[in-house]
Amino acid sequence: MDISRSEIVTISECEEKAYATYREDSTGYVPAGADSNITALQGSALHKGGEILFTQGPTGPWREAIHDELAGLPEPHRKIRTTLIRRAMLGWILKRYPQIISEWKPLGAEVPWKWELAPGIHQPLRMDDLMEHRSHGGIGIFDFKTAGAPDLNWKLRKEHSKQTHLYVKALQDVTRASGKFVSGMMYDCIEIGKWDSKRELMKSRFTTGYRSKGGNTISPKWSYGATVVNLCEWTDDQWLEWIEAHKGLNDCYWTTGLILPPSESLERTQSATIVKVQNWQIKLNVVKNSLDRRLEANIQFDRNPDACLTYGWELKCPFYYRCWKGSKLDAKTFEPRKNHHEPTID
């Protein structure tokens, strides 16, 4: 059985979502909402640009890769999102790239592997970027992330995340034969702001500025009475000069530094994951061999109402309406709201 890391993570989040996303053969599949598609494409553009940057350096065609990835988006998204990701990457080249490249030698980007999680269970892995430390030779994994707003617990969550544990353990297992050692995993996060669907703009210092009330100054930060200025029409050089003058890039690039969880934590995560995947395999077989797969899936797979709106209403789970039959969830209880006007039978 092949199982991806994201499927494993989704099983813990909500079994129904994992089944519908990865295994259902499209029966009753509800496509993801427009906003979540755009967010996924945006992430993919960042990774493709980052891959070229890592392998070919800042003079490589990373801008073209970002533009190609987002070329199919409707306006105003295409213009705004390409500007956003291109400038996010430009800032990263200024603020983070020199330090990383002085310490690490890139080995390759998006390296695909098949890791044997347990006998008969394989996990295809795509390491974002592998790098070798220039002085001690340890191997590290680098991964890009984005966030809408600062998150104080981000580093802690990454230290305990399944992704970190499974990637580091996989890299240890795969490199053991070569005599190399693993230094750990490093995440860099870019704070890219949030999409404002009412005004159709990205509230982000990469694309939007604010003109102060009664003045001419444009600032990356909103102040009372300020008006929005669309910075997508500026050239990147103009924007860079402006944002640097406001020291606007100094707090939007965060890094976890190298994370190397203790071996026993890695073993524990691996064992827990194996048990989870084996149970998953049993449930999948029961559903596959049943006469009415959808009915059996309803019985076998738990639904987790707490996971439906984890990333907010705009990025709600794509199966939301199917699960809740069109009823909205109560924001406090996460139960479908009752229609009090529905006729009742005594």
Question: What are the residues binding ligand SF4 (CB under 6 A)?
Answer: 14, 16-17, 20, 303-305, 307-308, 317, 319-320, 323
Sort residue 208 into left (φ over 0), alpha (ψ -120 to 50) or beta: beta
For the CA atoms of 192, 328, 298, 117, what is the dihedral angle to 10 degrees? Answer: 10
Residue with Cβ nearer ligand SF4 (10 or 183):
10
Least distance (Å) between residue 321 CB and ligand SF4: 8
Structure tokens at 307: 């996971």
Using the minimum distance from each CB to ligand SF4, give the nearer residue, 70 or 323: 323
Question: Residue written as tokens 């220039």?
Answer: 134
CB of 65 to ligand SF4, least distance (A): 32
Tokens of 1: 């059985």
Instruction: Output 48 or 316, the one with its CB closest to ligand SF4.
Output: 316
Residue 78 exposure: Cα atoms within 13 Å on the Cβ side: 9
The residue (of 14 and 139) whose beta carbon lies closer to ligand SF4 is 14
CB of 323 to ligand SF4, least distance (A): 3
* Least gap, CB of 295 to ligand SF4 (angstroms): 16
Q: How far is the CB of 304 from ligand SF4 (least distance, A)?
A: 5
Q: Which residues contact 45 (CB under 8 A, 6 or more apart)?
A: 65, 66, 69, 70, 81, 82, 85
Q: ∠ CA(277), CA(142), CA(242), 5° rounding?
A: 130
Within 10 Å of residue 266's Cβ, how many Cβ atoms? 20
- 209, containing H or E segment: strand 208-211
Q: Which is nearer to ligand SF4, 176 or 328 (CB)?
A: 328
Give, rounded to a whole angstrom, the gap between the first and last alpha carbons of the chain: 51
Please report how close the Cβ of residue 336 comes to ligand SF4 at its closest, in angstroms.
11
Q: What is the DSSP letter of 212?
A: P
